[in-house]
Structure 1
Amino acid sequence: MALPINIEDLLNRQRIEGNRIEFKRGWNPAKIYQTICAFANDFDNIGGGYILVGVEEDHGRARRPVVGIPEEKLDGIQQSMVGFNNKIKPYYMPRTSVEAVDGKYVLAIWVPSGSYRPYEVLEDVLSSKSKSRWYIRSGSSTIEAKGEVLDELREMANRVPFDERGNEQIAIDDLSPVLVLDYLRRVKSRLTADFTGRTLEQVLEQLDLYEGPQEQRRLKNVAAMMFSEEPHRFFPYTRVEIVLFPEGTVRNPNNFMEAPTITGSVPTMIRATLDYLRLMVIKERIRKVPYAAEAIRHFNYPYQAIEEAVVNALYHRDYQQREPVEITVEPHAISILSYAGPDRSITKEAIEQAHLLRARRYRNRRLGDFLKELDFSEGRATGIPTIQEELRNNGSPPATIETDDDRSYFLIIIPCHPDFLHDGVLNDPDKFKGRIKRGGRISDTINDDEDRNGRINGRINGRIKSSAKCKRWSALMEIIRDQPQISSKDLAAQLKASDRTIWRDLSELTERGIIRYEGAKKTGRWVILNQADEGME
């Protein structure tokens, strides 16, 4: 069985974190099965791991050339693993692949996170007298789970991430073989070589995209996220909406332009969104400096920062929420809004600092693995630091993060470089001429220029329509003018919107200095500020 990732990437610890890879010089079934058990338990929700047998470790790195395993021993090792797998309770079967490296053979063992954890295994699979133990990973080491850690491991049985859950509504015909093959080519998997000789079911099985017992196999949600051209059929509102306000939402909210709605698989949406922002929004300035050999180059928004923010929004969003990812482009900033908010294991202080958001559990851990293998994500918890570093290197102010106490949304605001604030970047008529027009048909083709073996073109069609948010704000302001003591609940009823939406609107309008609430909670009233009147009219 071929690996879903290139063996050289594993040896060089590229795309996969070091704590998910274990090097073993020789075949030691006792220690190796303890590590298999630990990866299957996946205590930190990192997505399982890989064990490379026949590779010696040198300070956390693979020593080259590899030691290898004699060819005549490979069959015996794999046959013995069939029996050792039965020593794991409940039953678990890791995937194996024999890889040719440096003229020798390496046994690669892929251990995806198990669906029926916690798992236990004999302390020594070679001895029937040994006791069963539970194992987890602690950093780059395998340790026995005891006490409170064992209690928490047992509780994890009911906490399977959403993208790893089986979905009986997803059928094999709902997935695109073209997208599957494109992914395998990008990650340089050996599955590409004999793709046409296998059924799609066999390929998906090797990618560990099925869940449940053999008699009731179900495709996992992540299969539709990655390889369906219409994932919104299973996860409503899986799309990206981009709105541009040339004069800003406060100064002139009625002057706006909506981009075509972006749909498709998650990688397709990421590429299409980034292509659109790179073409329509991002600008570079080159300034010659006297007596200096090199000119100063900077951007209104550094591409890498935008890329990380877009990937984070689609990676960490809650695909059970019926809300799109919303991107608002203003002269002073780009705001990227996704639902739901950051995990509660991330402290409020960490969110306010907007530096390092390290979650204990990931909402879509397997989706993150796919995105990382496609080089969309550098690693877990590195997105925000990368954004801040790219902004700092560009000479831009740092990004800020907003959420609420219920962690219902995640909003990251990326500021524009100061040198571009007074340029009227979004007012450049040549930039938008023939591309966005009110009430007209849009037909933009976004090409994926990274595919060396053929391009997959996504044609996005849509009509420009009035912004629902702006309309709601205008109606909300009219009601407040006539009924300044109205409650948020009554506002929601009159506008036929959810309480949460109206609460968010009132909070945003207050933060922008457009309205203010004065007096006690039950007897106070809303006041519309003078400067806001002009901006909303």
Structure 2
Amino acid sequence: MKTADILRMAHDIIDGCAIENDHIEYKRSASIKDSIIKTACAYCNNYMNREIGLLFIGIQEEDDKETGRKAVPVRPITGIDEAKIETTENELRSLLSYIHPKPTYHLLQDKIDDRYYVILAIEPGNDGPYETDQRAEKDKKINLKAGRYIRVRRDTRLPNKREEFELLKKFADFHFTSELNETATLDDLSYEYMREYLVRTNAAQDIREMSKLDMAKAMHLIDSSEYGGYRARNFAVLMFAEKPDDFIPYAYVEVIREVVGTDKMESKRFEGPIWIQAQRVREYFKDMIMASYTVRERGKSGAHRVFNWPLEMFEELATNCILHKEYSRPQYIGIYVYKDRLSFINHNRPLPPITIQDLNEKVDFDDRHYLNVQLKEMFFNLDLIQSYGSGIRRAKAAMERNGSPKLIFAPDNDTDDYTQVLAYINEEFARIQVEENEKEKSQEANEDADNSELLSKSSKKLKEVLKEVLKEKDYKKVLGIIDIIDTQGSITPSYAQEVCGKSEATTWRYLNMLVNTGFVISEGKTTDKVYKRKQ
């Protein structure tokens, strides 16, 4: 990056009082040697795929326990004496010598608040992984454990096993879908699927009329192997082989459904080219799972339609699972259908800088990287994705329009190597469905009457009633929430999260657990929802 751009960026960060993150850190001086070395090493490794990493020397971070302000620059800055700038820069150069391979960096002096400070700007490296050496560990003034440091959020640390693997793969520039398949050749690709793809993407007529070999070469599907012949690339196998999982194990989608009224599950496997899988899974959901009610409110004209789950949400999340799967791993894409929720599971994480927390909190993902670049382009050409980085936004919007609970992304830790999305059923749909089932089944009607009598006539508190209904371990998890409903009459999701001390995703699961007992209901829209005892 150019010096002028770095200085302009630095002023924007300091003037905006930007909080420390995975590419910004403030240090009062260069005396905290171990912290500076490991942060610089982490910037070189650039685990979160940022443009540059900035260490500001001479700027202290706030840590005000009364106001709670933390990790933002103190203004005016503490600064560095002009006479000590050269000494500070030499100290920083010396500290960087403990990192191998040699980092690419800029040392810039600047002035703000009429005081000098130094910017250590680390360019992301290409020769890594970068690591600190044993000298820094043996030096008693530094005492930094040797290793390949990474920075996630504001935490600079050694990577766990999953992160270490991703780091090695990143510097090896390994993309499984771009590699040649071990056994598949041109003969294993379907000429019919190749031509159908070209027709659907409006390719020129002369391209559509090419021979299979010329067409495969033009689309970069093959390459000549060491001993002659043409081997197919993995993305070509996924897109155009009749059964990709014959060559790439577990390259399929499995929908596993709960059998209503039993403790059993049934499954349906979707094989074939992955773009065909995406279409067939969508149609299966539309025909076999999606349902709706038309609701007319008394005293009002018109009606509204409510779905158990909106089609657009399912379509976006299922397609995302297929597009973003790490196909080198021997696990299939699983979509689990329960009576109260859908669960989408991929056995890999999103690529940094996107995190699970981002997926829960954000709707736009402009700065993102793709695991399967060729597949992304082909899915876009087939209109299976509408624009890059917008699928989550559309899925969330579809759930909101339907009045459904928020999507929940998991796990809420940095170690488990999977991505899960939970989509809970629309509560109005679920309520109507129960009412309809009660009309058809007298036994369920009697059970509902018993529940109503228990609620209306019993003097028991809610926690006493639910203790008889919930499993002991589940009851203990939600007891704090139940106590608030008993004493205050209702509780909001934010207050529930404060009470149980869990993440937002876990709190939503707890609240849905209470609703599913039939003794707790929710009222209001997503933004002002409250949970109370059913009367």
The TM-score range, normalised by the shorter chain, is: 0.3 to 0.5
Higher relative contact order (CA 8 A, sep 6+): 1
TM-score, normalised by the number of residues in structure 2: 0.47
TM-score, normalised by the number of residues in structure 1: 0.47
Larger Rg: 2
